[in-house]
Amino acid sequence: MTDSMTLTPSVAARADALEEKMARDLDYIVVKSRLQLFAEGDIGPLPNTGALMKANPHAHLLMGDDPRLPAMPEKPTLVDFFRLRFGPSMHLLQSAHHAKKNGLPEKMVLACLLHDIAVVGFIRGDHGYWGAQLVEPYVDEETTWAIRAHQVLRFYPDEQVGYEYPENYTAWFGKDYRPDPYIDEDYKRMRNHKWYMSGRLITMNDIYSFDPNLHVELDEFTDIIGRHFRQPSQGLGYDNSPSSHMWRAIIRPAKFL
């Protein structure tokens, strides 16, 4: 009792001192994007830039590389994004591995490899739409279409090909979960599309791909990426494509402006 009472002020004082030292030492200030605040349920006013600068007189707002994240090369490739941003991505590697083993065409193996890149590297909700948009300038139109479609088709069984509503979705979303109306609408459009089966194939290689014992290396797909992903010579993010800014947001997610 006596100990904790005597210790408490000194611990608090040490914490204060540490915080002050951090503020003095820090030469950059990170301000989260509105979307990141929304995701924390925060709809309050954005941080006051003037007050932040005053509290951290030796710091600047972060406009360059984020020192907390691995440095990206000047001209990043898709593989660099896998290695330096997306983390282990075993689900994607396993999906592509299955697709390859099942004899899918290479552009569909690539679709399986990329189908969830928005989950591992960008925004979860509507990840099929985001992922398709990210890769659209660099892959075959059918690959993009299939990635977008998997977002929708995974909610709808197809008995003819033996695809059932994923069991884990019942646990994750509840047994009464129904896809949003815009997903239903897209399903009707996609069901009759000439590439329906390509989107369906992603969902079929997707659900069987959560195997903790199967280790797959990205190197297994170097050739397929080389043949079917049009890597821009300027680097992803700097090639003036319709999705360059999205790749840059993954490179520098906390850039102030």
The stretch near Fe ion (CB under 5 A) out of 100-108, 192-200, 204-212, 238-246 is: 204-212
- Kindly state whether residue 153 participates in binding Fe ion, applying the rule CB under 5 A: no
Q: Tokens at residue 193, please? A: 């599309």
Q: Which amino acid type is present at position 74?
A: E
Helix (H) or strand (E) holding 112: helix 106-114
Residues 17-76 that bind Fe ion (CB under 5 A): none
Question: What is the closest distance, in whole angstroms, from the C-beta atom of residue 183 to Fe ion in the complex?
Answer: 13
Closest to 22 measured CA to CA, from 51, 56, 66 = 56
Question: What is the closest distance, in whole angstroms, from the C-beta atom of residue 166 to Fe ion in the complex?
Answer: 10
- Strand-pair partners of 218: none
Question: What is the closest distance, in whole angstroms, from the C-beta atom of residue 203 to Fe ion in the complex?
Answer: 8
Query: By CB neighbour count within 10 A (0-12 exposed, 13-18 middle, 19+ buried), where does 207 fall?
Result: middle
C-alpha distances (whole Å) from 147 to each of 140, 163, 208, 230 are 11, 17, 17, 17
Q: In the stretch 71-110, what mask flags binding to Fe ion with x, by CB under 5 A?
A: ----------------------------------------
Question: What is the closest distance, in whole angstroms, from the C-beta atom of residue 132 to Fe ion in the complex?
Answer: 11
Which lies closer to Fe ion via its Cβ, residue 95 or residue 243?
Answer: 95
Phi and psi angles of residue 28, each rounded to the nearest 5 degrees, phi first: -140, 150
239 contacts 116 by C-beta, under 8 angstroms: no
Q: Tokens at residue 90, please? A: 């075993």
The stretch near Fe ion (CB under 5 A) out of 116-124, 176-184, 220-228, 239-247 is: 116-124
Question: What is the closest distance, in whole angstroms, from the C-beta atom of residue 217 to Fe ion in the complex?
Answer: 19
Question: What is the closest distance, in whole angstroms, from the C-beta atom of residue 128 to Fe ion in the complex?
Answer: 6
Which lies closer to Fe ion via its Cβ, residue 116 or residue 140?
Answer: 116
Instruction: Among 145, 186, 206, 249, indicate the residue that binds Fe ion (CB under 5 A).
Output: 206
- Kindly state whether residue 116 participates in binding Fe ion, applying the rule CB under 5 A: yes
Place of tokens 């979705």: 169
102 contacts 126 by C-beta, under 8 angstroms: no
Binding site for Fe ion (CB under 5 A): 116, 206
